[in-house]
Every structure is written in structure tokens, then in C-alpha cells.
Structure 1
């Protein structure tokens, strides 16, 4: 039974957060927080957490409390991916020592996830914060909360052993109302959350600095029904009893053969008595007996059984009818199927409608098991963080494949038009978590403005910079341009066994423009930072500036640019559905890390072939115009 804080205990949590907030407010501008020994001590502590003995406890706790079936892989991910994030944290810390940035050290609230809590919550959100002196308050969950508390207990004990101050980590067992009150009381505190879009939107109402990963209906497109495809669907739909964020929710295919799902896909599914048995058998996609599930008589409306006795269900939208919505049905195996004629499946008309559906619903991943040209069109026309291509003859692509440490960067983004309703920034793995609440110093940006030239490849942007009057804004624009010169150079190859490309990308091709909506008081200083990721790159045909006719000064400033941007004189946007994204331009009150800022407007992620050294994949995808590149 979960014990929720009474009034006295809740007041103690508030008092602690107030003390931590007061300490953070004392941090001098441009100064470095006093954290002697934190980083080194936390790294030694982390090594113990990842040792065989303690890691086994973390795996066991999650298997016992959440019925996680493959905690071993999560620990392997933690060992490898956190090595990258430690290096990124070191770079962030160095920039602070040099006076370039200021890490905000108001207490961070950690909203734990059920699955992958060890990697996401313990290592990414908690350790990476406290090693740079950012205190965290770990919030209880309303269900499957015990294993989060167990790793907190292990961490707290090790903090005492290694001399890490205990005030850096607290656990608060609170009701939902108490959590909302806590976050509303401390608006300078970020919250790092992984969960549903519905919950993220509610948290964002009370926490302006929410940084959320929000799932999505992962989709697979296949053109043939082969044993390899059947295996890929089975493994992807049933991973962790359909309890992993990358589990398959939506299959797009030709019309299903009779009983194909029942016999070829799910017919060989096994059940296990416990997650321990899954660990012993390496059966990460077995169904676990005893988990809540519907039977044939109380399934979700509109679904029919895909197995004669096990709780596996599907519904088919024939004729290419894409689902209006998909409930993820956490830890319940439900599959939506969109089927249509095989020839129509690969047509430009259907692939465009499917790309539009992907943009609207924003899955984490799309996997295509079909021809290379089809895969390329789907990747170019969508904006997903994870994209995998495989062959119906094998190896086939799964929906649950991403290794951030190999360049297969990972992210769970809300739909682009709704992004700011759910999160302050898209969350990308790997990144240094404290960086989401880090700002450039205004004085440092003014220094950049006065001394730092921009690269010759973006010198065509000087007429825009010359019109800026705010030194900090102008310096930030130079930081943006220098970042784009470094990052917007086309794809980079990954380092793993699969053939991977990652990097900044244009918004989806053929998906409509991004509207930068100004008001009658918007200035060129307000607009320039948002405009530059488009104006300075090959995405310049993917945006439109909407300016009220009454804003003569802004219209005049834009007319003076040699490279004329697309400008629409109007009071707002009347045809919102025709745009890929709508951005309401406002003055900058702070200057976040440039990579996070640019990710608000530009696509990020990776695409891969599941085969190694796949020259055909590299030749086709590296040449795509979707990759973001600087230049006039």
C-alpha cells in the first residue's frame, strides 16, 4: 500500500523546495555553483550502481514491482548510453566554468516512468543533475511506484557512503493534487517527465519548465506477408507485454490473409508465470500471466481476437482508412491495422496521406519492410525521430530498435503543432539533462556580438544581423549560425552494427510550411532567432512570415534583406490546417542552449537500415534533400 504524505509531510517537502530555491536564487550571474567533489563522487557512486551486484538488484526490483521482462538490456543501455551522456555533461560543466552558460539549480522534479525507470529516471534525470549540483525531488507514481522508491533507497544509501550531500535527492510520495500544488508553487523548477501526452499536457498547465517525453502510436509499414515480417510484428507488438514505449501499435499492409495474425503472427506466442521466467528464457515478448487484461467478452469496442485464447486483439481499417485515434492500451496487446490494395499502398497518394497521419499523430518510430524507394519517400515525408528500414525477406525492421550510443538518437515527441502544449523542448537521447534548464549569459552573448565573426558560409545573413539592436539577441543569433555551420552539414554515420545516419533535418518534405506568426508589436530582434534556422539553410522554402499590415517597421526591415523571405501580410493565420507548424513569435526572455532552441523548429533524429554496411541505403538516404544544410 502506498503511503501518501499528510499535511505535515507535504509542508516539509514545500519547505525543503523553498530552501533549495532560495539557494539557487543566490547563484551569482556568471558564477559557478559550489559543487566541489560532486561530479567525481557521483561518478564513483554510479560505478557501484552499475556493478554486477547492485545492477542485479535494480533489475530484480523492476521485475518484481513492474513485471519487467528484460531489465538486463536496460542496464546494458545504461552502461553504454550514459557513458555518452557523462561526456556531454562534462562539456556542459566546462562551458559553465568558462562563463558561457549558467546551469539553473532550482530543484528539479522527477516524474518517474514505469518501464526503463533505471535508465531514464535514475541515470539520465537524477544522477546527471545531482553531479552538477542540481537537487532533485523524485515524485511517486500512482501505480507501479515501488521500484522507483527502491532505487531511491539504494541511491540514498550510496550517497552516504561516497559523501554526496543528502539534500540533493529527496523522494516525495504525494497525491496528484499535491504534486500539482508543489509544481505550481515553484515555477522556476523544471520537471522531467516520461509518460502519456494527456498527463504531460496537464503537468504543463502548472509547470512552465516541463520537459516531457510523450510516447506515440508506433507504426510499421510492410508490403509482403513473410515469416520475417510476421516475426517482426510479433516481437514489436508484444515486447514487455506491450508495455514498452516503442511497442508496435499500428500496422499498415495489404489486406490481411485469412487468419494471418492468429496463426502466423501470434500463434506461437507463449505465456510465462512471471517476469523472472522471462529473464531466464530471454523471452522479452512473452505474455505474463496475471497482468491486467481483457478477455474475449470484455475487449475494447471495435476490436476482435487475434488469438484463440490469449488476450490479443486487433481491428482492421480496410480500404486505406487510417485510424482517427489509437489508444496505446499500456501492457495490453492491441493492434490497429490499416490495409489497402498492394499497388495503392506504394502510391504517391497513399504514402502522402500516411505521412500526413504520422505528422498528426507523431509516433516515436516508423519501420518500413518494403522497397528502398518506398522507405525513402516515407522518411522524407514524415518527421519522426526513429526510422528503420528492413526487408520482408529479412532482416526485417522492428518498431523497438534504437541504440543512442551508436548514433541512433531517440526521442518521444508530441505532434509538432502541439509541442509547446506538452513540453518546453523535445527530449533527445543522448543529451545532458541539466542542459534543458541552462541558459547563455546575456553578458557573454554581448561579448559574442562584439568580438565573434560568423563563418563565411553564412555571411549572407549579415544584412539581417546588422538590423538587430539588442546585443544579447544579436550574440545569440551568431551562436545559432555557428551551431548551424557545425551541425547543419548533412547526415553523419553512426557507429554501430546497423547502417545509421543521424543529424538535423528539414521539416517533412511536402507537408506544408511553418508559419512564423508576428503581432503588430513584433520587432526584427524578436523574429530573427526563430527565423534563422530557416533563412540560413535549405529549409528557407519551408517557412512563411505572417506580419500584420500595421507592423510597418517589421515589414520594412524584412524588405531590406537581399534574400527575400516569404512574407504574408495578415493578422494571424486563418488556414491553420494547411501549415506544418505554427509558431507565435515573442520576445526572448532567456537564451536556452542552441541545440534545444533549434529543435523546436527543425526535425531531428536518425534513420537506419537494419543491415550493416548497407551501401544501397547510404547511397539513397545520404543524397536526400531532407538533410538540413547551411547556405544561401
Structure 2
């Protein structure tokens, strides 16, 4: 269905029906008209940047919604009048074959994503988990334990995973609990995000979901910053680079950001399985996914190993349609911006005779001071040292320190189990995979929330508050990031039985607290940790999974 949709698509459609600001179902078509570009930098449509009237419409609605949120009575529940049931019915249509094919197709044409099908499959599976978490949060609000803040939430769309993260996780999970959202346009590859908004808005009319719950703001970057500064009580949900998150945090104190990092693979042998794992991990979506491998730690590279064994079989496809037809996800897409041998990043050398794939090797175990993400460009940093030193306590400790400092999303180890255990215990990264050089080898990948696994994308701990209000773990109910405990509930927790004996050593600290709500909050945190950090336990999915954090917070704790 996706291939048929793309082949039958009229490219002029996105110019005839440009991206515009939409508030309460009303489209504002006056303002500066600009070209939009796809991932190749080619013009693929038009966008109308909001004029004063359109911008004021967004601000006025947000002010009205903010005033309503401020009036929410303590201990009361905002009227949501069946939004949840209507949104769930709407969501089922979004995930139907016909509509999902359009979501995937628009993303493929705009972002040149090769495998949007897997993203939709994950949406089907993972959102089932997050719906249940939302139900728990909503139930605890009805019981008076928490208060969901319903100030309008800003959604900063991500290019490569907008269908799952922005449409389902951030938008639907918010509006079904009565939290209005304002979707912000992107400065590039913005067409597919606007098109899912259009589909959503149309379905909201069909299922009786009020249009004020979802607005689209076609704004310049300066307008977006002005908007967020005007509403300091509004959260912003964003997935992207640490650099952009830091800039948003300057104007949005309630920013909740998922940010990438230099994903690392440690291998002790150069086998065909390891070569395949490096190839798929480094080239996934033309290095355009948060899971892409950026850093390989290994013994000294054999002559031409990267050129022949790893990247020698890489194919180039003319379009995402070709990848969809071939079930591909790690080919290079022709036409994407890239460097050549004469204008590559300083310090890197070609890892392929003709394709834009580059690497640099730090010999002697010299870890890189920094790694540039090089979004959608295949660059690989290699740290190499002799095999004995690679497994030594001294080097593994220095590597663990590097991982803690730079905070990649994931570490994959293809080597002996004892080495993997030392790396796990010494780094404590959010996602950790272990495989065998003989196979199956571990890939640079995320966890699967649909299988009960937790994952997250954290900035370095010491810099966390510069990038986000809270660290983001998945699965979680998105409205929970802007939900407060009711003071009476926390005082009630304080009056209950003592904390678990395993954390009784904290009692002297608790005894010094005089505020019952603060003391109750501390007990909630301790009780959560006692229950959620009791691993390792065996996962329920097809792959073997041992994990320490057993679950995200459920409802009021």
C-alpha cells in the first residue's frame, strides 16, 4: 500500500496545499510563502509562515487554554468528556493499513526514510503499553492522588521517527487526557509532519474530538522561541540533538527532551558477524537514526577490513521506494547531502572506494575527546588497541569513564561475557546489548517497550538540566511529565507503614524532614526504587533480556 501510494502521488500537491497555521480547525493562509525541502535539499512544496494574525490566533488560544488550566481546582479533575474513548477509536483508524500507508509514504518522500514500516509496527505494539500507562495515570487523578497539568504542550517534531514519537507518544497520549497540544513546524523535512496533522485533524472531526486540542503553528524559529517564552507553564516535548535541546531550554523551562549520543560498539574479534553488525548499525537509515553506531572500540583494524568486509557490500538506492520494495534499511540513499574525498571532515579517511563513508582511527586506546553526530552521513570513529589491553581492567575503566562522560544511548559488546559484565557494571548505560562474535552479534539498537524493556536517551548526567527538565524513559505516559502529586496524597503516604527494610538506612534522613508532603514524596521515590530496581530478571520477548530497571513509574508511583 505504501509503494502504491508513493507511485500515485502528485508532487504538486504539497505546493497547491501548503503548510499553514491551523487553530481550532481554521487555516490561516496569509504570510510569507517559502519553499520546503526534503532530505536531499530539493524543493518539495510550499509553506506559509504565520503573519501577525495567525501568530496572534495561536497565542490567543494558548492564553485561553492556560487560563482554564490555571483554574483547575485542587483535587479536581478537568472535564474531558469522553476524549479518551474517542481518541482510541481515532487511533485505530490511524493504524489501519490504508492510513498507515500514507503516514509511511509521506515520511519516505520527505525524509527519505527507508523503513517506515517498522516504525508503524512499533507504534502498534509500544503504544498499547503506553495507553495502559495513561489509563493508570488517569485513574489516579480521578482518585485524587495526582493532578495532570493541562497547560498547552508544544510538540517539537523529529524528522526520522515523527509518526511514533510525535503523533502517537506525544500528541495522542496528551489529548486523550485533555491536554491540548501545539505542533511546531520544522525548518526542513516538515511536510510529512504537517500531513499527519492534517489526517489527525480530519479524523478528530469524524470522531467528535474538539479541534482546540490540536493546533499546528507554521512559524519561523524566532516566532517559536517567542511563543515558548510567552507560556512558561507549558511543557515542550522534543526529540533531537543535544545542541538544539539546549537552545530550546533557554526559552522553555519545562522542556522534556530526548537527546542522542555517540553509540558505541566494543568487539574483540573481526568475524563476518561482527562486520555485518557494524555495517547495519553504522548505516541504518543512511546514519539517520538515533540508534546509529558512531564509535567502534576494537583491536587494531586489519588492512582494508572496513573497506572490504564491512562496507564493501553497501548498496546505493535511488529512492526510499526501492528500499521499501527490497525490505532494506541500511543502504545509502542517492542524493542525500554528503562529503567526498576532497571535502570530508578533517582527520577522516575513506572507508569505501566510491561511496561517502569515512572513518578515523585512534590507535593505542586513545578515546576521542568528542564525536560529531554527522547526521545522515556515515562517519565512524574507531578506538583501537591490542587485544590484551582491550580487555584489561585499566582500559575498561577508562572506557567506562568515557561512556559516562559522553552518555551514548547504547553500548553493544561482542566479546566474552566477563568483559560485557564489567562494561555493564562500570557504565550503567540505559541500553546495553551483548552478543557473540560468532553470532548472533549485538547491534547498536534500542530496547523494545512492547516486550517490557525500558530505554531512554539521556544527556550526560552532569549537564542534564541544561538540556531537559527530566530524563525521558520509554515507555511512559507523556502527560505524566507535567503532572503533580496532590499534597494530601503525599501526606497520606507519610502516615502509612514504614518504608521497606531494604532502604531503612534512609530513615535518619527522613526523620529530619518536617514537611509531611516532602517526606511522603521521598517515601514514594524509595518505594518505587525498591520495587522497580530488583533485577536482573528475564525479559518476555523473543530475545533474551536481562534488565535492572523493571518498570517506569505507574500512575502515582
1:458-513: CA deviations, max 9, x gaps? 445444333321121122122223223322323232111111122339999999xx
1:118 to 1:289, Cα distance in 2 relative to 1, 3 A: same
Q: Distance in 2 between matches of 1:296 and 1:507?
A: 46
- Helix, strand or coil for the counterpart of 1:269? coil
1:508 to 1:234, Cα distance in 2 relative to 1, 3 A: farther
Q: Distance in 2 between matches of 1:460 and 1:367?
A: 35
Cα displacement (A) at 1:410: 1.7
1:602-630: CA deviations, max 9, x gaps? xxxxxxxxxxxxxxxxxxxxxxxxxxxxx
Q: Distance in 1 between matches of 2:516 and 2:198?
A: 48
Paired residues of 1:217 and 1:250 also in contact (CA < 8 A): yes
Cα displacement (A) at 1:457: 4.3
Cα displacement (A) at 1:355: 0.6
Paired residues of 1:381 and 1:510 also in contact (CA < 8 A): no
1:380 to 1:21, Cα distance in 2 relative to 1, 3 A: same
TM-score (norm 1): 0.79
Q: Distance in 2 between matches of 1:433 and 1:243?
A: 24
Paired residues of 1:369 and 1:391 also in contact (CA < 8 A): yes
1:317 to 1:505, Cα distance in 2 relative to 1, 3 A: farther
Matches within 5 A, 1:232-381: 232-381=277-426
Paired residues of 1:196 and 1:215 also in contact (CA < 8 A): yes
Paired residues of 2:281 and 2:443 also in contact (CA < 8 A): yes
Q: Distance in 1 between matches of 2:466 and 2:215?
A: 28
Q: Distance in 2 between matches of 1:193 and 1:508?
A: 21
Paired residues of 1:407 and 1:500 also in contact (CA < 8 A): no
Q: Which residue is equivalent to 1:495?
A: 540
Unaligned stretches of 5+ residues in structure 1: 512-632
The root-mean-square deviation of aligned C-alpha atoms, in Å, is 3.0
- Helix, strand or coil for the counterpart of 1:426? coil
1:168 to 1:495, Cα distance in 2 relative to 1, 3 A: same
Q: Distance in 2 between matches of 1:382 and 1:298?
A: 36
1:508 to 1:37, Cα distance in 2 relative to 1, 3 A: closer
Paired residues of 2:154 and 2:183 also in contact (CA < 8 A): yes
- Helix, strand or coil for the counterpart of 2:382? strand
Paired residues of 1:222 and 1:368 also in contact (CA < 8 A): yes
Cα displacement (A) at 1:82: 0.4
Paired residues of 2:119 and 2:163 also in contact (CA < 8 A): yes
- Helix, strand or coil for the counterpart of 1:499? coil
Question: Does residue 428 of the first structure (1) align with residue 483 of the second (2)?
Answer: no
Matches within 5 A, 1:70-85: 70-85=115-130
Cα displacement (A) at 1:384: 1.2
1:15-40: CA deviations, max 9, x gaps? 11111101111100110010011000
Matches within 5 A, 1:505-524: none
Q: Distance in 2 between matches of 1:467 and 1:312?
A: 59
Paired residues of 2:532 and 2:551 also in contact (CA < 8 A): no
Paired residues of 1:380 and 1:509 also in contact (CA < 8 A): no
Q: Distance in 2 between matches of 1:506 and 1:406?
A: 11
Paired residues of 1:255 and 1:318 also in contact (CA < 8 A): yes
Q: Distance in 2 between matches of 1:402 and 1:481?
A: 25
- Helix, strand or coil for the counterpart of 1:262? helix
Cα displacement (A) at 1:8: 2.1
Cα displacement (A) at 1:261: 0.5
1:360 to 1:186, Cα distance in 2 relative to 1, 3 A: same
Paired residues of 1:407 and 1:501 also in contact (CA < 8 A): no
1:339 to 1:459, Cα distance in 2 relative to 1, 3 A: closer
1:309 to 1:510, Cα distance in 2 relative to 1, 3 A: farther
1:332-379: CA deviations, max 9, x gaps? 111111111111111111111111111111000100000100001111
- Helix, strand or coil for the counterpart of 2:294? strand
Cα displacement (A) at 1:383: 2.6
Paired residues of 2:475 and 2:552 also in contact (CA < 8 A): no
1:505 to 1:363, Cα distance in 2 relative to 1, 3 A: farther
Q: Distance in 2 between matches of 1:488 and 1:41?
A: 36
Q: Which residue is equivalent to 2:189?
A: 144
Q: Which residue is equivalent to 1:208?
A: 253
1:317 to 1:510, Cα distance in 2 relative to 1, 3 A: farther
TM-score (norm 2): 0.89
Paired residues of 1:383 and 1:508 also in contact (CA < 8 A): no
Higher relative contact order (CA 8 A, sep 6+): 2
1:451 to 1:510, Cα distance in 2 relative to 1, 3 A: closer
1:524-564: CA deviations, max 9, x gaps? xxxxxxxxxxxxxxxxxxxxxxxxxxxxxxxxxxxxxxxxx
1:239 to 1:421, Cα distance in 2 relative to 1, 3 A: same
Q: Distance in 2 between matches of 1:238 and 1:392?
A: 19
Q: Distance in 2 between matches of 1:488 and 1:299?
A: 45
1:364 to 1:12, Cα distance in 2 relative to 1, 3 A: same
* Number of matched pairs: 511
Q: Distance in 2 between matches of 1:278 and 1:230?
A: 21
Q: Distance in 1 between matches of 2:500 and 2:251?
A: 41
Q: Distance in 1 between matches of 2:554 and 2:147?
A: 37
Cα displacement (A) at 1:4: 1.4
1:257 to 1:461, Cα distance in 2 relative to 1, 3 A: closer
